[in-house]
A = this chain, B = another copy of it.
Amino acid sequence: MTRSFIPPKRILMGPGPSDVNPLILEAMARPTIGHLDPQFIRMMEELKELLQYAFQTSNRLTMPVSAPGSAGMETCFANLVEPEDEVIVCQNGVFGGRMKENVIRCGGTPIMVETDWGRAVDIDAVEDALKATPNAKFVAFVHAETSTGAQSDARALTALAHEHDCLAIVDAVTSLGGSPLLVDEWGIDAIYSGSQKCLSCTPGLSPVSFNERALEKVRNRPTPVQSWFLDLNLVMAYWNSEDGARSYHHTAPVNALYALHEALLLLKQEGLENSWKRHMDNHLMLRAGLETMGIDFIVPEEERLPQLNAIAIPEGIEDVAVRTHLLNEYNLEIGAGLGPLAGKIWRIGQMGYASNPENILFCIDALGNVLNEFGYNTPVDKALEAARAVQAAL
């Protein structure tokens, strides 16, 4: 007989979802009210302001899409890219490939700039592509590649896009809240993220932000946006009408929005810079431990995302067996590799609420012990010591 589902209590150190702060879960469980209730609309206004803070933007259109990050990506492409548009798509992992798919399905033409997986996007190659594509309208890239743990230079790529009269579309699913991201200062035109990474909220929402230049394109496109659900011209009547009124478009995911409001409030209370620093500090602890265990990062140091650590699976060690053991014996989730990196890497996230020294030490200890059990001899105590030494020096 089917019963209520009682999930196990995991420690989520994969690529997301990350552990959710109990305060956020508590907020989510508050009584549902109507999506047009004046009190709810007041909450929506606060949420937009909090999101502007997280993105460091004053863009009026800064709101969560009522669906996961993939729908946020599609919101950007489906609203901006019109049939025949040429789009420079930078690919250095899974999510650049998904951008390509989005461009094609919008009837656009993707001009691919490929960089090795595990590296930051190659800016010179993007410049070459822009020079060779004088009519390109957009440069799309992933700020923080969740599939590889590489961080690209969003400021430089955006500046380059603008030099060539293109708009920059940016995937910040894994960076928002976890590492520096300055939407207005860098001039990013359209950006999307996810709720379940460094915001440490439950999965299911995708914050987006569009500047005026991008919005103008959306408002003036001669062809309709192919998605009714994601058409910002319609969604804005609910989230962002000029006159402050709110018209029904779709029924908002009320409780999920309570949760995001709480998550953003916690981020604001901590302070964005403090959150960035916390993720970096804990990354340095983790790095010290992993290096002591002789484990290699696949991303060069200066291109690494602190919040998502992609490491090479040691020679002779079997991917699934180790992850299953960690999950079953330690309740610890770490992430597998995707695409060509499947079976070759693990992805250790330390995002949002999960980014704390206790988790870092726990992860080093658990992974070290399991590796020892599986025949990879590694000095777990020394690794813990190294991590603690970093912690003490911070």
Distance in angstroms from A134 CB to nearest chain B CB is 28
A4 interfacial by beta-carbon distance below 8 Å = yes
Of residues 173 through 218 on chain A, the ones whose CB sits less than 8 Å from some CB of chain B are: 194, 196, 202-204
Question: Chain A, 234-269, contact with B by CB distance < 8 Å: what is the 0/1 string?
Answer: 000000000000001111111110110110010010
Q: CA separation between A207 and B16, bound complex, in Å?
A: 24
Q: How many residues of A contact B (CB 8 A)?
A: 79
Partner of A105, one of B10, B40, B228, B253: B228
Question: Chain A, 73-84, contact with B by CB distance < 8 Å: what is the 0/1 string?
Answer: 110001000000
Q: CA separation between A128 and B386, bound complex, in Å?
A: 79
Of residues 272 through 295 on chain A, the ones whose CB sits less than 8 Å from some CB of chain B are: none
Q: CB distance A2 to B268 under 8 Å?
A: yes
A322 interfacial by beta-carbon distance below 8 Å = no
Q: CB distance A203 to B7 under 8 Å?
A: no
Q: CA separation between A25 and B31, bound complex, in Å?
A: 8
Q: CA separation between A20 and B32, bound complex, in Å?
A: 7
Q: CA separation between A74 and B75, bound complex, in Å?
A: 14
Q: CB distance A16 to B253 under 8 Å?
A: no
Distance in angstroms from A212 CB to nearest chain B CB is 25
Q: CB distance A228 to B258 under 8 Å?
A: no
Q: CA separation between A67 and B71, bound complex, in Å?
A: 9
List 15 interface pairs A-B (beta carbons < 8 Å), by A numbering.
A4-B261, A7-B31, A7-B37, A10-B31, A32-B202, A32-B203, A34-B333, A68-B251, A73-B229, A78-B227, A203-B251, A204-B253, A204-B254, A253-B253, A253-B256
- Measured CB to CB, the residues of A under 8 A from B are 2-10, 12, 14, 16-17, 19-20, 23, 25-35, 37-40, 43, 46, 49-50, 66-71, 73-74, 78, 98, 101-102, 104-106, 194, 196, 202-204, 224-229, 248-256, 258-259, 261-262, 265, 268, 327, 333, 338
Given A2-B50, A5-B258, list of 16 further CB < 8 A pairs?
Answer: A2-B49, A4-B265, A5-B27, A5-B43, A5-B46, A8-B39, A17-B32, A38-B327, A66-B67, A71-B71, A98-B228, A203-B254, A204-B254, A226-B227, A255-B259, A256-B256
